[in-house]
Every structure is written in structure tokens, then in C-alpha cells.
A and B are shown apart, each in its own frame.
Chain A
Amino acid sequence: MSADILAHALIEGPADLHLVDAVHAALESLWSAVPDVSEEDRMLFALAVSEVATNVVEHAQGPDHPEVTIRLEVDAGALTAVLTDDADPALIRLDQVSMPGAEAESGRGLALALAALDELVHEPGQGNTWRLRRRRRVD
């Protein structure tokens, strides 16, 4: 954990697409709190978080209603997000993700997240942990 956190937000709830809307609202609050984050950093980080959160919610399948926790953080150098759930570990190989062709109606999410981030890590275990990091660019 870096010591110079400028703003953070925590979103918790059942695996449901409304959680993705809550994430976007939380990001808006973070940008208000730290207005010098560039438009490009805001847009690409929001894109990555939206993709991973949607993926987490849509793949969180288990006998109990899985819970998802999302922590968002802004510091002087980077935008980070950590998403955790208590669902079954997802079988995803990030090194095999590629952008699908023009006909596809799905399957672009993680490819977009990889393009928008400097770091994307998936740690399956007792559930799933996703770590997202985008280094802030200078305008």
C-alpha cells in the first residue's frame, strides 16, 4: 500500500450488474476529489474497471449468492482497483486473451482492459482477486 493515497472508494454487494453502475458512480466521486487526473486516464481506467467488474459479476456463479468487493484508489502516480469475490475460481488465461473479430458480440472485455492498463492480475484461490493498475500519464 502506498502512503500517499489521494482518494479511495469501497463498493460491496451481491454479484449483480447494478454493482457496475455503482462503480462508475464511485469513479465520478474520485475524479471530483482528485480533479487533476487526466481525461484519458479517467476514461481508460473506467473502461478497464467496468470490463473487469462486468466480467466478475457475470461469471460469479455458485450455489450461494456471491459477494463482490471493489476497492478503488487514486495516488499521485497511479489508479488502482482490487476486485474480490467468493465465487468459484474463474478459468481465465490472461496471456491467451486477444481481441475478437468484427462479427463477435462479446469477448472484447478483457482485451480492452489489458489495453487500458499497465497491470492486470487475476489470482484465483478461495474466490477470485483481480488487481488493476494504470500509471497516471502526464498531459
Chain B
Amino acid sequence: MNITLTTHDDYAVVAVEGRLTATGAPRLRQSVDDAVAAGRARVVIDMGAVEFIDSSGIGALIGGLKSTRLADGDLRIAAVPETVRRVLKLTNLDRVLREYPNAEAAFDVR
């Protein structure tokens, strides 16, 4: 799994590529924490290149959601593939993690 953190003026994008499982989940948490520490508590997870996610990856998203909200921000997911959407539905989290068509749209104020 590869992770890329990109900071913008008032939000950050964490792009995840590959399989998001227990081996990669701590790195996703770390990237979200890095974004918050850099003053970007509004974080978009770009899921467009995620090939697979399991409960460890889901747990990292929930952990990230909590830490961004504690910092008065939010965590949103973008470009969600069908395989990820399926797991979100199975875990009843499809209404908790808001889905956006792409990273740019996630925090678009207009």
C-alpha cells in the first residue's frame, strides 16, 4: 500500500493506493495525524486507487474521523470504489463516512 499526503490551503488529501489492511492501517492513521498536526483538520481520503479494504482499514478511517473532529475538522472519503462501498454498507458505516465524487469536491464551500 502507498500513501501520499498533500496539504492544501485549508485541507489535506491523503491518497491511498493498493490494499488497505492491517499492515497499512497504522500508516493511514499516521498520515491523518500528520495532517492534523500541520493544521489541516479537514482531511479527504482519496480512495480512487484502493483495491481492497477490510475491517482494519475501516478502523483506521473511523480513528481518523475521530481525531479530525476532535480538532474541529472532519474526515471525508472521495472516489470510493464499489469494493470499498460494499464493506462500508456491510459495517453500517455508509452514512457515517460521507462520500464525495473526488477529493476537490469534499471540502468545496460553493
Contacts and interface: CB of A to CB of B under 8 A. Distances in A.
Question: Is chain B's interface secondary structure helix, strand, loop, or mixed overall?
Answer: helix
Interface in A16-37: 17-18, 20-21, 24
A107 B55 CA distance: 8
Given A47-B54, A106-B59, A54 B22 contact: yes
A108 B22 contact: no
Nearest to B95: A102
Interface stretch (B70-78, B86-94, B98-106): B86-94
Given A47-B54, A112-B55, A21 B92 contact: no
Given A99-B92, A106-B55, A21 B62 contact: no
Interface centre among A54, A111, A116 (most CB of B within 10 A): A54
A21 to B, nearest CB: 6
Contact of B62 (A44, A47, A104, A112): A104
Interface in B8-37: 19, 21-23
Interface residues of A, number: 27
Given A46-B52, A105-B62, A109-B55, A17 B23 contact: yes
A91 interface: no
B21 A21 contact: yes
Contact of A102 (B22, B56, B92): B92
Interface in B31-53: 52
Contacts of A20: 21-23
A88 interface: no
Contacts of B83: 43
A52 to B, nearest CB: 10
B62 A103 contact: yes
B109 interface: no
A61 interface: no
| The 3 residue pairs across chains A and B that have the minimum distance between CB atoms | A108-B55, A109-B55, A105-B59
18 contacts: A20-B23, A21-B21, A43-B52, A43-B83, A43-B86, A50-B21, A50-B52, A50-B54, A54-B54, A102-B92, A104-B59, A105-B60, A105-B62, A106-B59, A108-B58, A109-B54, A112-B87, A115-B90
